[in-house]
Amino acid sequence: MDKNGPEIYGKILDFIGDPVFVKDRQRRLVFVNEAICRAFGKTREEVIGHTDYDLVPKAEADVFKERDERVFLTGEEDVNEEVFTAPGIAAKTILTRKKRYIDPAGNPFIVGVFKDITAIRTVEEKLQRANETLEQKVLERTAELKRANEEMQARIEQLNYLNEKGRMFAHRLGREDVLSGIFQTFTERFPGCPLQLVERTNKDFKSVHYSQNSVDGLRRCLDLLGERRILHGEKILFDESDTGFPVIWAAFPGRLWIPFRSGRELLGGAQIFLPKEFGSQFEMELPLLGALSAQASIALDNANHYRALGEKARMESELRVAKNIQTHYMPETPVIPNISLNGVCLPAREIGGDYLDYFQNENGDWVVAIADVCGKGIPAALVMTSLRSCIRAEGRKARSSKELLSAVNRLMGPELQREKSFITCLCIILSNRGDQLIFSRAGHPQLVAYGQTKNSPDVLAAKGIALGMVTDETFGALMEEVVVPLVAGDKFFAYTDGLDEAMNAESQPYGKDRLFRILEEKRDLPPKKLIHDVLEDVRLHVKDHRQYDDMTLLSIEKN
């Protein structure tokens, strides 16, 4: 070999990007290429002749020493991945390969090469974290879908149960009959649990119904209520005795208090003692418990009126209470960005079967509903009450007007068919930005468009059949949903047929033509003033003739 060979080989190795080194039996570096010098941030003269202990921390040097000895003794190749550190240099992940060789004089030496795989390991770690994040999100999404399905099933069960109990309460007038129905309702809902119905007297509480499984304990609960140690008359409460109420039954440490109210007056309530595990179900059960509390309160309030009054006074009280309830159901005019809205509902008798409502769903959009129950008076009003509960419950999560009406038909349709009744309904969803209107109609009079963007009033056609007329599948197939982008000056008018069918003494109806003329004449008026003028025009037509049908009007304007 040429005597300049080693020098030439060294220069060649300097061109290699990976660090290369040679150690003698004393583990001193006898050769390094330029890549090694760059890795340590030193010159070749500062590295040659030194050991690992001169270049890296002692802990790492000890590891290198142990591996070098194993290579020297066994002759086996050593391949290791390790974290390399040196003073003033960022830590790196290094893949090292070492091999023992013997020179012609019989002296062993180690040739080593290492490769910086920091970037590769960083990418691998990021990919691993990304995979773990993805798997976690898949698991979370699966759990969310499962919870959503369980909540939907629970909501359907609750609505069916609520409708069933609503019909039961509607047919019970006597006070004892009502109390028995309330007790039966909560016993069915919480079987086997100690339960007590209490009535508020002038001074304390008295028990009116109680379960037989824990009479002595329930008497103690009644005493505690009488002593006013705990009384939550304003809301439904579930506690685990953290408010001072003692644990009377070890198996039922949780206490559920459901108040019955008439306005601000506390009539009484139901005490139910439950397992501690009920706490996890309380939020899911709360809407149903609130509805049952309202139904029981109304039924008990009515029963108290019936008991106190004679037959004639009882009927007058019934109508007055029902009218107050319906008046309470009439929503306040909402504040919607870029939208003006006003509506009015005028029953033909003390109470009626027309329904007008607006509320926000979980997406922040506004649900507007106008409906007409077949019939008049108390029967129609009872159906209207169930309709309101159903629309409000389903409308919170409904994504479209068609979906909402289909859900209502699915829940109320069988009962309406049994009673040979039906409901017409117009459902409108206004986007929370006020830039879009979506509507569907279930056999209701068509939505009328008028205002600055229309040459004359015109109906916005949408197919649909009344609630309770056909099965779910047919109802959905016949239902159409219309999307209307809103621009400034758009105006819409909705009504029940009590408006265009309002008769005068000569049995002549008010009619759509006259309605459209007044809408054209008053097109520049805001919704509230427009409705006022339309009603004035109807009164001019009917004069002193008695109102025959319920009448509801609704006006919407895009500002």
> Bigger pLDDT: 437 or 329?
437
pTM for this structure? 0.47
Q: Is the pLDDT score of 231 beyond 60?
A: no
Q: Residue 50: exposed, middle, or buried by beta-carbon count in 10 A (0-12, 13-18, 19+)?
A: middle
pLDDT of 228 over the 60 cut: no
Place of tokens 């209502």: 408
* Torsion on CA atoms 238, 241, 244, 246, rounded to nearest 10: 120
Amino acid at 428: I
For the segment 299-333, what is each residue's pLDDT rounded down to a tens digit? 888 887 777 765 555 555 555 665 566 566 678 88
Give pLDDT, residue 5.
Answer: 46
Residue-level pLDDT at 347: 85
Q: For residue 117, what pLDDT band results from cuts at 50, 70 and 90?
A: confident
Report the range of poorest mean pLDDT among 174-178, 213-217, 383-387.
Answer: 213-217
**Among 103-112, 122-131, 232-241, 446-455, which stretch is predicted with the lowest mean pLDDT?**
232-241
Specify the amino acid at residue 123: V
Confidence (pLDDT) at 194: 87
pLDDT score recorded for residue 49: 92
460 has a pLDDT exceeding 90: yes
Tokens of 204: 């304390």
pLDDT over threshold 80, residue 498? yes
pLDDT score for 226: 60
Where do we find the tokens 């019909």? 167
**What local confidence, expressed as pLDDT, does residue 4 receive?**
46
Going by pLDDT thresholds of 50, 70 and 90, the confidence category of residue 483 is very high
pLDDT tens column, 362-415: 999 999 999 999 877 778 888 888 899 899 999 988 889 999 999 999 999 998
Average predicted confidence (pLDDT) for the chain: 84
Q: Give me the pLDDT at residue 2, please.
A: 43
pLDDT of 1 > 50? The answer is no
Q: What percentage of the chain exceeds 70 in pLDDT?
A: 88
CA-CA distance, 286 to 60, in Å (whole number)?
63
Give the three-state DSSP class for 347. coil
Answer whether residue 3 shows pLDDT above 50: no
Tell me which of 72-81, 278-287, 444-453 is least confident.
278-287
Is the confidence at residue 211, as pLDDT, over 60?
A: yes
How far separated are the first and last CA of the chain, in Å rounded? 97
Q: What is the pLDDT of residues 29-42, one digit of tens each?
A: 999 988 888 878 88
Please give the Cα distance from 103 to 126 (Å, whole number).
Answer: 45
**Helices vs strands, H then E, count in the chain:** 15, 20
Which of 169-183, 305-319, 344-358 has the highest average model confidence (pLDDT)?
344-358
C-alpha distances in Å from residue 101, one per residue of 104, 106, 110, 401, 512: 10, 9, 6, 83, 107
β partners of residue 102: 108
Q: Tally Cβ neighbours within 10 Å of residue 462.
A: 19
Distance between CA 342 and CA 103 in Å, rounded?
102
Q: What is the mean pLDDT of residues 233-261?
A: 74
Q: What is the pLDDT of residues 62-100, one digit of tens each?
A: 988 999 999 999 989 998 887 777 676 677 888 889 999
Question: By three-state DSSP, how is residue 174 classified?
Answer: coil
Q: What pLDDT score was predicted for residue 402?
A: 95
Q: How far apart are CA 344 and CA 350, in angstroms?
A: 15
CA 395, CA 361: separation in Å to the nearest integer?
6
Residue 214 has pLDDT above 80, yes or no: no
Distances (CA, A) of 153 to 159, 160, 394: 10, 11, 12
Closest residue by Cα to residue 32 from 117, 118, 113 = 113
Q: Could you tell me the two tokens for 186?
A: 């909560």
Give residue 282's pLDDT: 83
Please tell me the predicted confidence (pLDDT) of residue 327.
Answer: 61
Q: What is the mean pLDDT of residues 351-368?
A: 90
